[in-house]
Structure 1
Amino acid sequence: MNFRGEGRGRDEVEINLIPLIDVLLVILIFLAATTSFAHFTRLKITLPQAAAEQQESTPLEIAVSQDGHYALNGTLIDGSTTADIARALVQAVQGKSSPVLVINADAQSTHQSVVNVMEAARQAGIERLNFAAQTAQ
């Protein structure tokens, strides 16, 4: 028995493009809907000019060692209490307007040592504090 049939030709294979086009249109609509088009308005601004003033005096530098000793501008402070540090800072800031204190603390110094310096600066009336750090190499 021959089930194929001699009279019938082979069917040609077709690729139906309509579902493919539908899928591509859906993807295109999705991309268009989710894309944000940002339009930045550019303003023409003329910035004001200013000249920086030279600092009147050099900042005070206090060093905090690993073992809790303090040095103000290179001279060792007698005592390590907040009152001792404040007394030394008050003597150093006499006659200076808005002094700046730079704290150079050792990386291994305790947090309490640095807080003592900050409290002493508050007691001495120093409002501007900076912390010195070195860059990583």
Structure 2
Amino acid sequence: MNFRPRQADEEPEINLIPLIDVLLVILIFLAATTSFTRYSQLQLALPQANAEAQESDTLGMAISQQGIYALDGQLLSGVTAQDLAQALSIAAQGRDDAILVINADAQATHESVVRAMEAARLAGIARVNFATQSSP
């Protein structure tokens, strides 16, 4: 160990050999752990959607937070599944493939939404959709 004071003309040296050794070890580690396998890709024929076409056979059922039902803008007096099924079957008359779109409030109970689905089953409506709202 040299404890003598440094002269003004001596400049500090940076030894690069240990740095190069560390970099080579990292490079070898990365090369050894990298996988070079190719993943096979699936060939899919995806269906095309036409977003502008509106289906005319849709029935809209709204469910409020308090469990009040409305079918196509008309309030329904009954709250049982049989009352709702009767209103749905009347509204679906003459429509071959009616679709029920349920617009439920975020605070509506699970029971009221399931009751609407049960009413659709009793009315013979096989297609039930749920309307959602995207968050801003």
What is the TM-score normalised by the length of structure 1? 0.68
Query: Structure 2 matches for 1:20-39, cutoff 5 A?
Result: 25-37=24-36, 39=38
2:79 maps to what in 1?
Answer: 80
Summarize the Cα distance change of 1:49–1:98 in structure 2 as closer, same or farther, 3 Å threshold.
closer
Preserved CA contact (<8 Å) 2:60 2:100: yes
Query: Structure 2 matches for 1:1-137, cutoff 5 A?
Result: 25-37=24-36, 39=38, 52=50, 54-55=53-54, 57-137=56-136
Instruction: Give the number of aligned pairs.
Output: 120
Distance 2:78 2:48 in 1: 44
State the 1:23 CA deviation: 5.6
Larger-Rg structure: 1
**Structure 1: gaps (5+ residues):** 1-14
Distance 1:132 1:49 in 2: 21
Distance 1:99 1:133 in 2: 19
Distance 1:84 1:49 in 2: 38
State the 1:25 CA deviation: 4.6
Matched residue type, 1:89 = L
Distance 1:20 1:105 in 2: 64
Preserved CA contact (<8 Å) 2:62 2:69: yes
Matched residue type, 2:107 = Q
Summarize the Cα distance change of 1:60–1:40 in structure 2 as closer, same or farther, 3 Å threshold.
same
Summarize the Cα distance change of 1:81–1:51 in structure 2 as closer, same or farther, 3 Å threshold.
closer
Summarize the Cα distance change of 1:84–1:135 in structure 2 as closer, same or farther, 3 Å threshold.
same
Distance 1:129 1:94 in 2: 16
Matched residue type, 1:120 = A
Preserved CA contact (<8 Å) 2:101 2:130: yes
State the 1:37 CA deviation: 3.2
**Structure 2: gaps (5+ residues):** 1-14
Preserved CA contact (<8 Å) 2:61 2:100: yes
Distance 1:66 1:95 in 2: 31
The root-mean-square deviation of aligned C-alpha atoms, in Å, is: 3.4
Distance 1:20 1:63 in 2: 69
Distance 2:77 2:134 in 1: 31
1:19-74 alpha-carbon deviations (Å, 9 max, x no partner) = 8776655433222111223556789x8x6896859455141000111221111001
